[in-house]
Amino acid sequence: MMHADLKKILITQEEIARRCQELGDTITNDYKGQKPLIVGLLKGSVPFMAELIKHIDLDIEIDFMDVSSYEGTESVGDVRINKDLSNSAQGDDILLVEDIVDTGRTLRRVIDFLYQKGAKSVRVVSLLDKPERRVVDINADYVGFVVPNEFVVGFGLDYNQRYRNLPYVGVLKEECY
Ligand code: 5GP
């Protein structure tokens, strides 16, 4: 059953599960022999990260960062780091987990920050990609799904902190903004 506040479902629970399996297999292959640190950006990446790491068959560690750049549905230019990694990133091969790449500002800032902290490599896996909205010339290395230029919620993505628990990704009805 679709949530009553949604206009449509863009990506179903089954499609997400299948894609996480595929991404996990690819990442497992690409990082063979390495022990990547998987870093989730709070809070939107949590459901995706949980599903994805089940399919990463490597000796990994996980950590989280909290950055903020978004108020309501409007992006603001600056990105603030609210919570840093628990450990030093020195020499780490980091796989950053994002819910969506929109303007690209968050990614640019966080990737630069991780290299400043001494990361050896930083790659990005994002559940969603909204290429039409890009302002900064940057892309995720691994993308689950490309979405059109609409405000999406579910599977980690919120509107004013709601809807993160929906097991699918969909578009809110206009009257719910
Ligand atoms: P960027 O810095 O790439 O513009 O923004 C990335 C962040 O903005 C994402 O991590 C996400 O929190 C938020 N964001 C961008 N587009 C959407 C969207 O369509 N829906 C929701 N819920 N959040 C979005």
Q: SS3 string of 42-56?
A: ECCCHHHHHHHHCCC
List pLDDT tens digits, range 141-159. Answer: 999 999 999 999 999 999 9
| Catalytic residue check, 25 | no
Nearest to 172 by CA among 2, 7, 4, 3: 7
Cα 32 to ligand 1 centre (Å): 31
List pLDDT tens digits, range 79-125. Answer: 788 999 999 999 999 999 999 999 999 999 999 999 999 999 999 99
Q: Out of 70, 82, 176, give the residue to mutate to test ligand 1, the one with the largest number of ligand atoms within 8 Å of its CB.
A: 70
Cα 118 to ligand 1 centre (Å): 26
Q: What is the pTM of this model?
A: 0.95
Cα 157 to ligand 1 centre (Å): 8
Residue nearest to atom 8 of ligand 1 (CA): 70
Start-to-end CA distance of the chain, whole Å, equals 21
